A and B are shown apart, each in its own frame.
Chain A
């Protein structure tokens, strides 16, 4: 059974800092991995999707990497802004099932 872990559960950083959010998974036979953002009281917004054959994907200030062999993905946020404050979830697709982590709640202080 696939398990997805995101540690720490919460993170607070000053504005402008570059930061890395971690996601680990137990079964490396994955199809793809997707990072989402969730604002309070809202649904999930897709940020980046990495196929199993890819090493990384970039969108603006966001960069997601994937290391299947070690069961890890990281979401890199450059020059963080208060507007980046939200919960970030990763989800792993394997055997047609999507398994979510519990998310990391990020707070960027002005």
Chain B
């Protein structure tokens, strides 16, 4: 079974530029999460989707971050304009609606903002 796919793995941009990250969850997983992990910290939830609807985006900085999950499968997370403090690893995870809701993570996308 294929895992959670993310791209790009690495991205370096200058502040005020824009960037987009892509995630393809495990097939059949209805729930998709985007997390931000700053070095030395645990992951922080940015947004959670159930199919193509938003369940929780309370910690998403909506003035600069946006995310969508069209057709309830792939998802894109965008940052525009980027700030220095956005330098982090952006992790995508997915889970099923059945059972305990175990999360499976992708390899992450490392963003460096200069």
Docked Cα-Cα span, A89 to B44, in Å, equals: 13
16 residue pairs of the A-B complex, CB under 8 angstroms, read: A4-B42, A31-B100, A32-B100, A34-B103, A42-B107, A43-B105, A43-B106, A43-B108, A44-B91, A49-B100, A91-B103, A97-B56, A100-B42, A100-B43, A102-B40, A102-B41
Residues of B within 8 A of A (CB): 4, 6, 33, 40-45, 55-56, 91, 93, 100-108, 110
Minimum C-beta distance from A98 to chain B (A) = 7
Contact of A44 among B6, B105, B110 (CB under 8 A): B105
Interface presence of A71 (CB below 8 A): no
Q: Which of A16-50 contact B (CB under 8 A)?
A: 31-32, 34, 36, 41-46, 49
Q: Rank and list the top 3 A-B pairs by shortest CB-CB distance, nearest first.
A: A100-B42, A43-B105, A44-B105
Docked-complex contact A45 and B105, CB < 8 angstroms: yes
Interface presence of A58 (CB below 8 A): no
Note all chain B residues with C-beta closer than 8 A to A46.
102-105
Docked Cα-Cα span, A96 to B101, in Å, equals: 10
Number of A residues near B (Cβ < 8 Å) is 23
Note all chain B residues with C-beta closer than 8 A to A100.
42-44
Docked Cα-Cα span, A24 to B107, in Å, equals: 27
Minimum C-beta distance from A86 to chain B (A) = 14
Contact of A101 among B42, B55, B106 (CB under 8 A): B42
Minimum C-beta distance from B90 to chain A (A) = 10
Q: Which of A29-88 contact B (CB under 8 A)?
A: 31-32, 34, 36, 41-46, 49, 51
Docked-complex contact B107 and A43, CB < 8 angstroms: yes
Minimum C-beta distance from B25 to chain A (A) = 13
